[in-house]
Amino acid sequence: MRRNTPTVRLACAVVAGALLAGCGLLGDAKSGRETVAGMDMQGAAERADSILYATVGEITPEIEWVHRATTTGTCDVTRYWTVMTVISEQRRGNFLGVVERSWKASGYRIKTVSPSKEMPSIIVRSPDGFGIRVSFGYKGQAFFQVTSPCVDESKVGAPTKVANGRTYDGEIPTPNVRSDFWSAETPVPGPARSS
């Protein structure tokens, strides 16, 4: 039996996002969270985009990423991005460490850290109430997700900034961009000891 794994992955990510939203981790109007006055869904989507651009801007060497999807709830919006750079199992901790340091420097509060060897993730909350997640999934592919707090309903357009990864027709494949650093299958060397 042949499975359409990219579709299954996206469906799982959307369901997981919806479940997290329902739990109040990433956004839900009924969870009792405050709403952002004067912001609509389009403004929230643009803020989510700016969070991603700032995050990936801190990752060196640079990674390739693409826009994946946008979903809306009763009063929130979620943007999803997929990392196309192969991040080896040996470098996932370094990748997550860079992302976590960037988020802490931005004043984001850590909500959950999953140290799973195969599918680690970090969920944080920004001071303005956005839920932000980085996670690893099938074939070690990294994903980012940003969900807004409750905002005014509006139409939501596609991101205006072009992703730095190549454009794919149809389903986004598993990671396929090699990096001398991120794809290396050896741990990052520690600092040299002085004698």
Give per-residue pLDDT as tens, 171-183. Answer: 999 999 999 999 9
Residue 51 parent element (H or E): helix 41-57
Decide if 24 contacts 33 (C-beta within 8 A): yes
The pLDDT tens digits for 92-139 are 999 999 999 999 999 999 999 999 988 999 999 999 999 999 999 999
Domains (ranges, CATH) in the chain? 5-152 (3.30.2030)
For the ranges 29-33, 61-65, 88-92, 179-183, the lowest mean pLDDT is seen at: 29-33
Asked if 52 contacts 134 with a C-beta cutoff of 8 angstroms, the reply is no
Assigned token pair, 79 = 């943007």
Residue 37 confidence (pLDDT):
78
CA dist 98 to 78, 92, 184, Å?
Answer: 23, 10, 16
Residues in Cβ contact with 122 at an 8 Å cutoff, skipping those fewer than 6 apart: 96, 99, 100, 103, 110, 112, 113, 114, 133, 134, 135
CA dihedral sign, ordered 133, 108, 74, 43: negative
Which pair of structure tokens corresponds to residue 121?
């993730």
